[in-house]
Amino acid sequence: MIRINPIFTFLLLTLFFSCEQTLTVDTENIASSVVIDAFIDNHPGTQTINITRSRRFYDNTEFERVSADAVYIEDLTDPAQPDYVFVETISGVYEWTPASSAGSFGMVGHDYQLVVIDGDSEFRAISTLNPVPVIDSIRFNFEEESGFFDERFEAEFFATDLSGFGNTYWIKGFKNGIFLDKPEYITTSYDGGFSASNEDGILFIPPLRTSINPFEEDEQGYDTGDNVRVELLSITEDTFLYLNEIFTQTSRQGGISEIFSVPVTNLNGNIEVLSGNQSVLGFFCTSSVSIAKLTLTEAVAQQAIERAN
């Protein structure tokens, strides 16, 4: 029988507890930052920029909205083009509306600069409006009951990555017009896959094609009469990294696994302080967008069942 020396145990415990140190983090006196949410796409219609202030970690009140002096986007590729001037519609919300209902933002391949002026502070950021592939089709598949799911209909879209390495995308799913906006639904793609590889110009891989479905336990799948909408947006590589970091920091399982997780921190965006003493958070991205949608009619459901059999 193995015996443990009690003196050794006492010394070990003493050493363990003597290494403890209590750290107190001051979350009350941290200065707030201006937060700029400027994700712009070329879908016809109004584009929106939101500007708020950050709040303390344990503060659950509404974000303070910022009424800036000027918010506009300028074309760096063709400076002769007029600026896209965003008008404050309600506090902290700025909108640009094209002259016609068919009008849209920007030209593919052009570089754009966001400018925000708030008092003596000026913030700027640059983004490129990259091209995006057309969504070839969208369909519903019938999945039979398994050990994990009841029988269900699952939406799937098909698109092919553009030729050339380094194309990055953001895939958005909508059920009955409602954006699946939980952090765990953030889906990005690099050249049609999850990350950079030697593959190029490929059909988007299956996990990405079906990422537009609600999969949480408290969320219902698609029934007859429901509709799905998918938006495929081109994004810059720094936007790709930014969205992935948001996913990492917000999709947390809790429990013992948090001991080994990266601590939650403010994300460094691509917006720079040109003048003034205010700090800034947030991101500016310009995107081309492809859109497809489909309603699960009785006929579409029957086709899905027949394909499954």
Give the pairing of strands 34-41 and 280-287. Answer: parallel
Residue 85: helix, strand or coil by DSSP? strand
pLDDT of residue 25: 59
pLDDT of residue 224: 95
- Tens-place pLDDT, residues 28-59: 667 899 999 999 999 999 999 999 999 877 77
Closest to 129 measured CA to CA, from 243, 240, 288? 288
**Averaged over 181-208, what is the pLDDT?**
95
pLDDT-derived band at 259 (thresholds 50, 70, 90) equals: low
CATH number of 34-131+262-287: 2.60.40
Greater confidence (146 vs 174) lies with 174
CA angle 207, 183, 185 (to 5 degrees): 25
In the predicted model, is pLDDT for residue 108 greater than 70?
A: yes
Report the C-alpha gap between 159 and 151 in whole angstroms: 26
Greater confidence (148 vs 98) lies with 98
pLDDT of residue 55: 86
Report the C-alpha gap between 80 and 92 in whole angstroms: 29
Q: For the chain, which residues make up each domain, given as ranges?
A: 34-131+262-287, 135-238+291-308
**Averaged over 262-290, what is the pLDDT?**
92
